[in-house]
Amino acid sequence: MNRISIELVPHAPPVLAEELEGILKRFPNVDTINIPDLVRLPTRSWDACLTCFEQVDRAIPHLRSCDFDLQNPAKLHEIVKDQRFSEILVVGGDFFEDREHYETSAIDLIQFFKKEYPAIKIYAAIDPYRSSFEDELAYVHRKLDAGADGFFTQPYFDLQLFRKWLNALEGINVYWGLSPVLSEKSQKYWETRNLVNFPKDFVPTLEWNAQFAADLIAEIVNESTSVYFMPIRIPVIEYLDAICEKSSEFKVRLGA
C-alpha cells in the first residue's frame, strides 16, 4: 500500500488543526489529507488544505468543475498562486439553487490544469454505482486521455465489486475509498442518493464496516495502490481504531 489519506471536513482552521493534531498523535503514519469542497461551509477546500500543510506534507483539495468559468479562469489562477498544492482532485460537483454554476465538465478542468499547471498531479473521481461498469470504465479512460494522473473512488461496500475494479485499474494510481455506514437511515441514503447495492450480509454496524475495511485492505496491502477513509457520523480515530483491531498489518502501517 502506497499511501493512506483521511478525508476531513473543511471546518474553520482552528477546529481543523485540532482535529488533525489528534489524528496524527494517534496515527503518526497518516501521510495525506484530502478535503472536499462543501458549499454549505464557508471554508473552501483549498483554504482548509493550507491549514493542513502546517502538519502534513500532502493535502489534496477537491475542486468542483461546475464552480469555474474557463473563459475567465482568474479564480483558478488565484487559487494556485502562492499555494503549495502539488496534487488536486477534480470532481464534477452538484448544482445548488442560488449559486452560480458553469458548464465546465470534470474533463474540461482536467485539461485546463494539464495545460496551465503540468507540474500538478491531477486526480479524478470514479463512481462505480452511477452507471454500468462498461460506461464508467470508458469514462475513466476519457479522463486518462484528458490528462488525469490517478483517481479517488467512491467508497466500496462489496468485495466482489472492488475486485472487479481492482483488476480493471491495474497499474493505475488509485485511492480506494472506505466509509462506514452505521444506521439504516444512512444505508437508505446511500441506496437512493448514490445508487449503492449493499451485499446481502451487510449490517449497518461499526463491527461490520471495520471488518470489511480490514478485508479490503488485506487485498491491497502488497499492491502499489492507496486507500482513503471518509468517516461520516463517527470520529476518525474511533473508526480507524476499530479497523486496527481487525488488522494488525494496518495498525503497524498507521504507527498506532
Give the pLDDT score at 97: 62
Does residue 193 carry a pLDDT above 80? yes
Average pLDDT for the chain: 94
Give pLDDT tens digits for 98-126. Answer: 677 889 999 999 999 999 999 999 999 99
Task: Please name each of the domains of the chain with its CATH number.
Answer: 4-254 (3.20.20.220)
pLDDT at residue 85 in the model: 85
When mean pLDDT is compared across 83-92, 170-179, 228-237, the lowest value belongs to 83-92
Is the pLDDT higher at 172 or at 233? 172
* Whether pLDDT at 37 is above 80: yes
The pLDDT value recorded for residue 40 is: 86
Q: Does the pLDDT at position 222 exceed 90?
A: no
The mean pLDDT value for 46-74 works out to 94
- Bridge partners of residue 32, in order along the sequence: 5, 58
Does residue 95 surpass a pLDDT of 70?
Answer: no
Q: How much is the pLDDT for 194?
A: 92
User: What is residue 101's predicted lDDT score, i.e. its pLDDT?
Assistant: 85
* This model's pTM is above 0.85: yes
Percent of the chain predicted with pLDDT > 70? 98
124 beta partners: 90, 151
- Strand-pair category, 58-64 with 87-91: parallel
How many CB atoms sit inside 10 A of residue 154's CB? 19
| Average of per-residue pLDDT across 159-181 | 97
Answer with the residue of higher pLDDT: 85 or 95: 85
